Structure 1
Amino acid sequence: MVIDPTLASADEQLWQRKLLASTAARDVECGLKHDGNAGDLEFTTALFTLLSASAAIAAAIDTNESGLEVLGERSFERKARHVEAAARSVGGELEERDWVAKNGKVTWYGGNQLNNPACGGPTPNDNSAIVAVKANGGYGKCGEWVHLHYNGKMVAAKIVDYCASCEWGHFDASRGVFKQLAPLDQGVLTGVHFKLITNN
């Protein structure tokens, strides 16, 4: 029996190799029943066929496993590139929602600074769960919610205002939000993890 390399699937080729091994095993059994030089020749031929088929099956299995490893590796590399591209992206909302950034900055503001929020709506107070972000190219936009994580503490806040001095990943929070992460006298928090959320 000859393996047909034009078969579409690796499974069909593997099946043919198993059938070849089974046939070779039967030939070996038949070869053991013969005596004399002719029987020795048949036995040797059958044994050689069996060993060749076994090697072919092992190679097919190795090839399939290697293929899976390569596929997994490529998939991981694609994901890593996607995450890296998302980290560099400023305007991609979908990318921003799919990953957690780890180098955020949080400051706080309050009192009269809370008046007339750029996003409109009622004036928040010091205990409101709100933040301000950079106007153009900041992280998130008016009305969206963000989770902020710092030293094992987490708080959700709504974007209601813009911050002139903020950069991408910088959140100017109300006193109430800041206090849920750290004492007010700490002033500035760095290394904050943050992620946009679709509902609160």
Structure 2
Amino acid sequence: MRLARWSGVLTAAVVGLAFGSGTAHADIPIGQPMSGKATYYNDKGYGACGTLIDASSQDLVAVSPAWWTTANPNNDPLCKGISVQVTYQGKTIRIPVRDKCLSCDSTHIDLSQTAFRKFAPLDVGVINGITWKFVK
């Protein structure tokens, strides 16, 4: 679970402009399996894609800044119908990308509370050993 989280259109745009997009990947690796960890969050308001989110009641995922390719995340390809397919202990779910997790590295995803609960109780905090991939 993240303790400090920056979210939203204005913050994400300012961070992107201030620090550039040099760490962004040129392409979203659709279908490429990755291994990593998942945490959860419960933010409400506008996510990085510019839409209203409620991570305490909606299935959604925030991904690392490494995967965002534009300074204005509202226009990013990740916000155009890209989801993440997550597998852990034989269970697989598919959830839409709606937000950016500034504290996540490229293999760490931040699930909404409802999505996280499909794999483990919230008091677990971190699920190590997940596999995930971007899907259209």
The TM-score by the shorter chain falls in which range?
0.5 to 0.7
What is the match of residue 121 of structure 1? 51
Q: Which of the two has greater strand per residue?
A: 2
AA aligned to 1:138 is: W
SS at match of 1:126: coil
Which residue of 83, 100, 122 maps to 1:162?
100
Matched, 1:92 2:27: yes
Taking structure 2 as the reference length, what is the TM-score of the superposition? Answer: 0.67
Identity %: 30
TM-superposition CA deviations, 1:131-186 (whole Å, max 9, x none): 11122x23882241010001111111111111111110211111100001111111
In the alignment, structure 2 segments of 5+ residues that lack a partner are 1-24, 69-76
The number of residue pairs the alignment matches comes to 104
1:4-34: per-residue Cα shift (whole Å, max 9, x none)?
A: xxxxxxxxxxxxxxxxxxxxxxxxxxxxxxx
Partner SS state of residue 123, structure 2: helix
In 1: Cα distance, 2:126 partner to 2:90 partner = 17
Asked whether the 8 Å contact 2:53–2:98 carries over to 1, the reply is no
Ranked by relative contact order (alpha carbons within 8 Å, sequence separation 6 or more), the top structure is 2
More helix by share: 1
Shift of 1:187: 0.5
Moved over 3 A (4+): none
> 1:92: Cα distance to partner?
3.2
Deviation at 1:105, TM superposition (A): 1.3
AA at the equivalent of 2:130: V
The structure 2 residue matched to 1:108, chosen from 37, 40, 60, is 40
Letter in 2 for 1:161: D
1:138–1:167 CA contact under 8 A, matched in 2 = no
> TM-score when scaled to structure 1?
0.47
Residue identity matched to 2:90:
G
Max Rg structure: 1
Alignment correspondent of 1:72? none
